[in-house]
Structure formats: structure tokens, C-alpha cells
Amino acid sequence: MQKLDRGIISPYDMKKTKNRIIYGVMILAILVMVISMLYPMTVTLFNGLKPNKEVNSFPPTYFPNHWVWGNYSKAWNYIDLPGFLVNTLKIFVGNMAATVVIIGFAAFSLSKLNVPLQKYVYVFFMITLFIPPTTYIIPNFINLKDLGLLNTFWAFWLPAGASAYYMMIQKQFFDSINNEIFESSRIDGASEIRNFFQIAFPLSLPIFATLAIFVFSSAWNDWYWPSLVMHGDKTYPLAVAIVKYVLNVRRLDTNIKFALLTLVSLPPVVIFLIFQKFIIRGLNIGSVKG
């Protein structure tokens, strides 16, 4: 008799009417979720391809009756998208550097070094996860103002080095690395900084790839904090520019607005689809110690 691999639902389970009904309901729920997520994205895409009169017509149409591909070229030239994109990438690169160096050193120290009161220090950082982020927006703003760092990218880079959640993920990953590797390196005379960059960092590329996607998503989508600390076109990230020059502008044609929103929403989706395996792998590895 041939032995079959048993999954969550085996062929034997599917012979039961009750299981088939439950399985069908699950598939239906997934389809509803997929449609509810894809519908607003596709509506935005197709509205960016319609004439402005058709976008504002009632009843609305899903597919364009007249395809106007020139809307996207007008949208691209409407504002300095490359310049605002560069500002967003500067925020991402600085935030990622703070995540790797500052938070990475902290996680490595708590995981592999004999830090005094190590457990209490770790618990202290974990307690901060229960504090709502809105409670420290004003203190952070006042501190940055006193330091003269408003309207500079340091207003993003410095707070990025204080994420307890990212530290927890990295520490759990470092805990899974065998301590004998670092002991052998110390016997050979390697410093702890060298242990971090030459041993811990290469072995932790999956978790850093995961964090890079999270940091990128945060830098791309964040609007509220940049609108508080940035006050000029030369420093505005993409999200602030979209709100200021697209969403809040009444005289701009609606189809051009949809085209701009499509242009700025597609890159994160593409990046996620390309690197989604790193997210799943990194979270699975970082959440299991051993």
C-alpha cells in the first residue's frame, strides 16, 4: 500500500462532507480578502488611465472606455518625483544603518556578552513595546528642536536607533547562533566588533533582509512624522509631497491624481513580491530559538 504524505487536509479528510464545506468556506474567505485588497489598487490604476470627465462621471466604470496612457507621463512631470524619491531613500538608508549598527550592537551585546543586569536591561527594553508611539512624539520633537536637528535627516536616523521591536527580533536570532563560534574567534584575538561584522552579520543576513523590508515600508509610507520635522521641498520625502502637492490640491485633475498615486504605490508592492520569501524566512528564524 502506497504511503501518502499527510498535510493539513488529506484526501481522506476531503471525503467527508463537513470537511469539504469548511474547506470551501475557507477558500471563499480567502477570495473575498484577495478581492477586497486588489479592488482599490486596480481602481486606482484604471482611473489613472481614464479621461478626467470619465473619472468624475456617474455611475462609475471599472475599466476605461477610453485609454489615456499620457496621464502617467503628465503625472511623472507634475512634481519632482525623483527628487522626493531620493529623500525617501536617504531616510531608508540612514534608518537601516541605525538598525544594523546601533540596534544590532545592542542586540548582540545582550545576546553574546556578559552585560551587567542583562535580563533586567532586556526586560526594560521590552516594556517600551507597551508604550503607545503617540505618547513620545512630542518629547522626540522637542528634543530634536533643542538639538537643532529639525529639517534634517537626523530627525529620522536618531529615533530609528531606538526600536525595541527590531532589537528583540535581532536578539532572538543571535541567540540561535552557537556561542562556540564566537569563543573560538576570541581565542584567536578577535574583538567583539570584529565578531559582529565578520561572524554575526553574515550569519544574520536573512533577518537583516527582513528588517530592511520593514524599514523601507516605514520610510516609504510614513507621512505624519516627516510632516512635523521637515519644512521644505529639498527635504520632503515622497509621502509628504504626495499629500501636500497631490491630495490637498483641488485644481489638479482627478485622473492625474490617480496616476500619481499608482506610481507611488506600485514600487513597495513589487519589492514585497520579490522579497517576500525573506520576510517569511526571517520571521520564522527570528521567532524560534534553538
Nearest one of 126, 142, 136, 151 to 235, comparing CA atoms: 151
Assigned CATH class of 75-286: mainly alpha
The model carries a pTM of: 0.80
Nearest one of 87, 21, 41 to 244, comparing CA atoms: 87
Asked if 156 and 91 touch (Cβ cutoff 8 Å), the reply is: yes
Nearest one of 252, 243, 267 to 74, comparing CA atoms: 252
Q: SS3 for 184?
A: helix
Which of 20-24, 158-162, 213-217 has the weakest average pLDDT? 20-24
d(CA 230, CA 240): 9
pLDDT tens for residues 83-92? 899 999 999 9
φ, ψ (nearest 5 deg) of residue 164: -70, -30
Neighbours of 33 (CB within 10 A): 10
Asked if 157 and 95 touch (Cβ cutoff 8 Å), the reply is: yes
Mean pLDDT of the chain: 85
Answer yes or no: is pLDDT of 272 > 90: no
Domain ranges across the chain: 13-69, 75-286
According to the model, what pLDDT value does residue 8 have? 64
Q: SS3 for 103?
A: helix
pLDDT tens for residues 148-179? 999 899 999 998 988 889 998 888 888 888 88
